[in-house]
Amino acid sequence: MRKRLLAGSALLLVLAACSGAESDTVERVTTMDIEAADAASYEMAAPPPPPAMASQASEGEASDTISGGGEIPVGRPQVAYRYAYGFRLPSNAIRPLQERHADMCEAKGPDVCRIISMDQAENEGDYAYGSLTLAVRARDARSFGKDLANASGKVDGELVSSSIEGEDLSKRIVDTEARLRARSVLRDRLMEVLRNRRGTVSELVAAERGVAQVNEEIDQAQSWLAEMRGRVAYSNMTVTYESGKPAIGGFAQPIRNAWNSLGGIFGTMISILIVLLAVLVPLGLLAWLGVKVWRRFGLSTGIGDGWTKPENTETS
């Protein structure tokens, strides 16, 4: 009986040990399976490549689009150009060519070309001179200058000089725009103070004066900005016409010089007379008054007193 009990208890211990080992095995297997599954899931769900490359590519494409499109005018230089052309031609052909160039400008219309000034002068001999100043739309200035040069060939004219100068007004325009915006904001704030009537009477009076001063500065900045933008939009073009050289010397030249110097000579003489009169007249009056006073009081210097005129004697 005791043996049976011992055998039964031993069997129970063996079964318990087997069940514990099995549970440990199951638990270990389950745990390992879960960890393996998690590792596999992490391996399968590996993060995609960082989006920095994509963002860099998109930025590169955007920069390529901006640089290639050229539609954004930000940072575009604001340059005011000045053109100068000089023509040499016969004196009798200056006026016709000048009129032809002026007609070409008027034919373009006021939106493209405007005449600023036009003058002509003739001198002795074959020398004559003329000039024409135009305001030409900036994008049409160079082509119009070529048209002027081509038109001079019909009157035996020759283009002897040409120049193009540019002045960058970008910084001045940007600074003026920034100042205009700042003054506009300041004016709005001052107007808000005046509308709400906040503050003392002295503060409101100071705000009104500030508004007047700011408005003056805004008007001045707007005029500067309009003038600079006008210089950028329309280029200044100066055309000069010249024939021969000024006459030097000749028979009439000394006479002309002498005649021109007469005015200066007469002016110098009159100025000298004025100075002499201003000095001598007061001195002469003082001397005359002194003599009158001297004689009135019977004063004498004693020179010649007691002197008598000798009698004439006849000599035999």
Q: Domain containing 111 — which CATH number?
A: 3.30.70
107 and 155 housed in the same domain: yes
For residue 240, give the nearest of 155, 127, 164, 159 by alpha carbon: 159
* Tens digits of residue pLDDT in 6-59: 444 444 444 444 444 444 443 333 333 333 334 333 333 344 444 444 344 444
| Better-predicted residue by pLDDT, 258 or 178 | 178
Q: How far apart are the first and last CA of the chain?
A: 229
Asked whether residue 47 is domain-assigned, the answer is no
Give tens-digit pLDDT for 99-134.
999 999 999 999 999 999 999 887 656 788 899 999
Same-domain status, 107 and 134 = yes
Residues 161 and 83 in one domain: yes
Q: According to the model, what pLDDT value does residue 141 have?
A: 93
Looking at the 3D structure of the chain, how many domains does it have?
2
185 and 161 together in one domain = no
Q: Is 275 part of any domain? A: no
Task: Give me the sheet containing 234-243, strands edge to edge.
Answer: 113-122, 128-137, 234-243, 79-88, 158-168
Residue pLDDT, tens place only, 128-177? 889 999 999 999 999 999 999 998 877 778 889 999 999 999 999 999 99
252 band by pLDDT with thresholds 50, 70 and 90 = low
Choose the final residue of a domain: 197, 232, 267. 232
**Which of helix, strand or coil describes residue 53?**
helix
Identify the domain boundary among 203, 232, 261: 232
Count other C-beta atoms under 10 Å from residue 101's C-beta: 25
Query: Is it the case that residue 2 has pLDDT exceeding 50?
Result: no
List all residues 6 or more positions away from 121 whose beta carbon is below 8 Å from its beta carbon: 128, 129, 130
235 three-class SS: strand
147 is a domain residue:
yes
93 and 139 fall within a common domain: yes
Question: Residue 56: its pLDDT value, please?
Answer: 44
pLDDT tens digit sequence for 63-95: 443 344 444 445 678 899 999 999 998 888 889
Average pLDDT, stretch 214-224? 91
Range of the domain at 223: 171-232
Model pLDDT, residue 106: 94
Q: How confident is the model at residue 194 (pLDDT cuts 50, 70, 90)?
A: confident
Residues 163 and 133 in one domain: yes
pTM for this entry: 0.51
Query: What pLDDT shows up at residue 202?
Result: 83
- The pLDDT assigned to 85 comes to 95
pLDDT value of residue 84: 95
Which residue from 128, 102, 129, 96 is spatially nearest to 115, judged by alpha carbons? 102
